[in-house]
Amino acid sequence: MNSNYARVLIPLILAGTFIIDVFMPWGYAVWVIGDVFAVLLALWIEWPIAPYIVAAVGTVLVQVGHVLSFPGIPIDIAVFNRIVGTALLWVAACLVARARKAKLDDATRRLGAIVESSSDAILSVTPDGFVTTWNAGAERIFGYSATEMIGRSILTIIPVHLQRDRAWELATVRGAHDIHTYDAVRLTKDGRYIDVSVTLSPLKDDVGQHVGVSNVIRDISERKRGEALLHQAHEALERKVLERTAELSSANNSLRDLSGRLMHVQEEERSQLARDLHDEVGQLLTALKIDLQDLQHGEEGQPLSGCLRDSLELVDCLLTQVRNLALDLRPSILDDLGLVSALRWYANRQAERNGWTLSLSVVGMGGRVPVPIEVTCFRVVQEALTNTAKYARAKVIDLTLCRQDEDVTLIIQDDGVGFDVLSARRRAQGGASVGLLGMEERVRLAGGSFVLSSLPGEGTRIELSFPLTEQEQIQPHATVEAISP
Ligand SMILES: Nc1ncnc2c1ncn2[C@@H]1O[C@H](COP(=O)(O)OP(=O)(O)OP(=O)(O)O)[C@@H](O)[C@H]1O
Ligand SMILES: [Mg+2]
């Protein structure tokens, strides 16, 4: 039953019983049963002396009822009845008080068991900061037994360097602060610092006086460790993202540089082509035109054979010039006869021009390889041999083209003066040249790998390698050829 109902019912029952007692002319005091019932209802009121107060009020009312009621029986029996009734009232009050105490003891025992079995540390502290209770959870977390801690200061478990925390805790147990939950660091008996969550609640006595605080302390070291790991992982991820972004932007920049330089080279090639057309083909055509005009305006009967011979020679020169230009732009031999023939033709031509001893070894190049690989190999040989001619002062050039099951490899080697690859690469990245980077870029775009090795005085070696897909792999012929001019 709700204690509020009991508070209302008890006075009603007492008053009703009294009225019946006064106005019923029996005088036996049997209505004291009503008062006993009122005493029983005091079981639901939290106040410990409530049953005795109800019994005392009932006693007064029974006696007053005796004085006021109409006597229907002899006085000695009436008095005896009322004494027995009153005794019954007090016996009921004692029983109710005992039952209440047993109920309270049981509740306290249950509460104690809950506190004891809790995995959290639960302790109470006086307003002076001394520990009064210390449960098994506190023993487990802090390593101090209840006997060691009861009577000691709560500051025992707060690290000395946390001065603010210590002062705050002392002020809180005195009742100076609002109570709340907060994360803190505490000190165990073996000197470890642990992360905990502390919940403080005020403790008040029966009359509402502040008598200290209760602490519920939860070990949150695992949670904090997890949070720290998560934080580290998050930071590492952010670092990776930043690194990747920087890499991407630098790759982007170098691509932009390269494409700018390629455009520049393209423009240079165009103007070179325009110069060649103008200076060589144009000159020859002008001379041919003059010859033809001479023929047209020549006087009748004059011999024409000299003029015609000149014109034919000019046409021959023109044809050679145009063929050379076309070959430099893109040798048709590469499309028609394939990489081996194109390399042999080009390398021989360069060897003749520069006076090199050239050896070309071809291993297993029975069929054609994919066009992008052929074009890339040819362009790289062009650039490499041009560099050799420009800088190497070489005597011997070795070209090796080899096809094995899954790879096509091309090696270009000279015995020239060599160079410092790192500084040449740095100069090229600074925009000084485009040849080395262009070769590397071409090979990369065709899906191959590019290795350039050179040391001053030790010649230069370039190795390209292209993996072939399954469809591109056809049975290679085992042929070796060596060409020397
Ligand atoms: N075979 C080689 N022997 C000696 N030095 C070389 C050789 N190949 C390249 N180099 C050096 O490497 C540098 C860079 O070569 P790269 O081809 O990039 O530039 P370049 O030929 O000077 O100009 P570009 O090719 O852009 O017209 C050259 O300036 C040269 O010093
Ligand atoms: Mg070059």
138 closest CA partner among 129, 126, 147: 147
What amino acid occupies position 227?
A: E
Average pLDDT over residues 281-287: 87
pLDDT at 485 exceeding the cut of 50: no
In a domain, 433, yes or no: yes
Residues 440 and 373 in one domain: yes
Q: Cα–Cα distances in Å, from 186 out to 79, 168, 176, 178, 212?
A: 71, 14, 21, 21, 20
Residue 226: alpha-carbon gap to chain centroid: 14
- DSSP-based three-state secondary structure for 298: coil
In a domain, 153, yes or no: yes
Q: Is 414 in the pocket of ligand 1 (CB under 6 A)?
A: yes
User: How far apart are the CA of 258 and the centre of ligand 2, in A?
Assistant: 14
pLDDT at 482 exceeding the cut of 50: no
User: How far apart are the CA of 382 and the centre of ligand 2, in A?
Assistant: 9
**Distance separating alpha carbons of residues 76 and 87, to the nearest angstrom:** 16
Pocket test for ligand 1, best of 258, 271, 398, 419 (most atoms within 8 A of CB): 419
Cβ–Cβ under 8 Å, residues 458 and 419: no
Full residue range of the structural domain in which residue 349 is found: 337-467
Residues 159 and 178 in one domain: yes
Report the number of distinct structural domains present in the chain.
4
Q: Is 382 in the pocket of ligand 1 (CB under 6 A)?
A: no
Residues 342 and 460 in one domain: yes
What amino acid occupies position 484?
A: S
Q: What is the pLDDT of residue 322?
A: 87
Dihedral Cα 122, 126, 131, 137, nearest 10 deg: 0
Residues 313 and 342 in one domain: no
Pocket test for ligand 1, best of 385, 391, 397, 460 (most atoms within 8 A of CB): 391
Residues 191 and 247 in one domain: no
- In this structure, the chain runs to a length of 485
Domain C-terminal end among 271, 299, 329: 329
pLDDT at 325 exceeding the cut of 90: no
In a domain, 279, yes or no: yes
Q: What is the pLDDT of residue 29?
A: 62
**Distance separating alpha carbons of residues 40 and 44, to the nearest angstrom:** 8
Cβ–Cβ under 8 Å, residues 280 and 320: no
In a domain, 473, yes or no: no
Tokens of 361: 């070894």
Q: Can you spell out the DSSP letters for 138-168?
A: HHHHH---HHHHTTSBGGGGS-TT-HHHHHH
Average pLDDT over residues 112-135: 89
Residues 344 and 447 in one domain: yes
Lowest mean pLDDT: which of 1-5, 47-51, 162-166? 1-5
Q: Is 421 in the pocket of ligand 1 (CB under 6 A)?
A: no
- Point out which residues pair with 413 in neighbouring strands: 398, 461
Write out pLDDT tens, residues 137-158.
Answer: 999 999 999 999 999 999 999 9
Cβ–Cβ under 8 Å, residues 205 and 211: yes
In a domain, 485, yes or no: no
Q: Cα–Cα distances in Å, from 23 out to 29, 31, 176, 359?
A: 12, 11, 60, 143
Q: Is 424 in the pocket of ligand 1 (CB under 6 A)?
A: yes
List the CATH number of the domain containing 374.
Answer: 3.30.565.10
CA 217-221-224 angle, 5° bins: 115
Residues 284 and 273 in one domain: yes
In a domain, 480, yes or no: no
Q: What is the pLDDT of residue 479?
A: 42
Pocket test for ligand 1, best of 354, 387, 441 (most atoms within 8 A of CB): 387
Residues 33 and 142 in one domain: no
Count, in order, helices (H) and strands (E) of the chain. Answer: 15, 10
Domain C-terminal end among 329, 364, 389: 329
Residues 345 and 454 in one domain: yes
Write out pLDDT tens, residues 183-220.
Answer: 899 999 999 999 999 988 888 877 778 888 888 999 99
Its pTM stands at: 0.49
Contacts of residue 60, Cβ cutoff 8 Å, sequence gap at least 6:
none
- DSSP-based three-state secondary structure for 206: coil
Average pLDDT over residues 287-314: 78
Residues 29 and 151 in one domain: no
Residues 163 and 199 in one domain: yes
Residues 403 and 356 in one domain: yes
In a domain, 379, yes or no: yes
472 closest CA partner among 401, 370, 373: 370
pLDDT at 122 exceeding the cut of 70: yes
Domain C-terminal end among 100, 116, 132: 116
Q: What is the pLDDT of residue 303?
A: 62
